[in-house]
Amino acid sequence: MGGFKTREWSSTLQVWSPSDLSGDDRELLHMAHEAAANAYAPYSQFQVGGAVRLVDGTVVVGSNQENMAYPSGMCGERVAVFAAGAQHPGAVMTAVAIVSPSPKALADAFMPCGACRQVLVEAERRQGQAMRVILQVREEDVMISESALNLMPFAFEAKGLGASGASAQSSD
């Protein structure tokens, strides 16, 4: 038998009381909660809001938009990140707040789905800078990751897809 190796990885999240956050983080969470109020979630009843802060302080928001032809909808954080990229091309995203007011959301298990984590990681790689990920359910404690990659250690990479970073970035 033998011949196999074991690899371990871990992700680290800081847990904060909302009252201990900086004013910028509280504002970003507030804007994400406002965005969640505009979610279209008639099927799941699981509203999610996202708010992305750009390096110049601009905030772009988004909310989940479901469609009965699942999976045609879009998660709130992806709506916000894609809107930021479309409306402010090349701008550096410093933080994203992702929230849910849903009674179904579990505070200790609220996390972006795998597709959203991949989008966040690629945004970080594209801009060459980590993006803080701030997570909150209702008005409960806040979990913060200093990087999206921390939440998805096995994210796809351009070299793993047989493409160079430059050609992967320039393709549509």
Strand bridging mode 132-137 / 93-100: parallel
The answer to whether 140 is a known catalytic residue is no
Distance separating alpha carbons of residues 105 and 109, to the nearest angstrom: 8
Distance separating alpha carbons of residues 109 and 102, to the nearest angstrom: 13
Distance separating alpha carbons of residues 88 and 123, to the nearest angstrom: 13
Distance separating alpha carbons of residues 16 and 115, to the nearest angstrom: 26
Q: Which of helix, strand or coil describes residue 114?
A: helix
Distance separating alpha carbons of residues 113 and 101, to the nearest angstrom: 17
* The one catalytic residue among 34, 66, 77, 140: 77
Q: Any idea which residues carry the catalytic annotation? A: 77
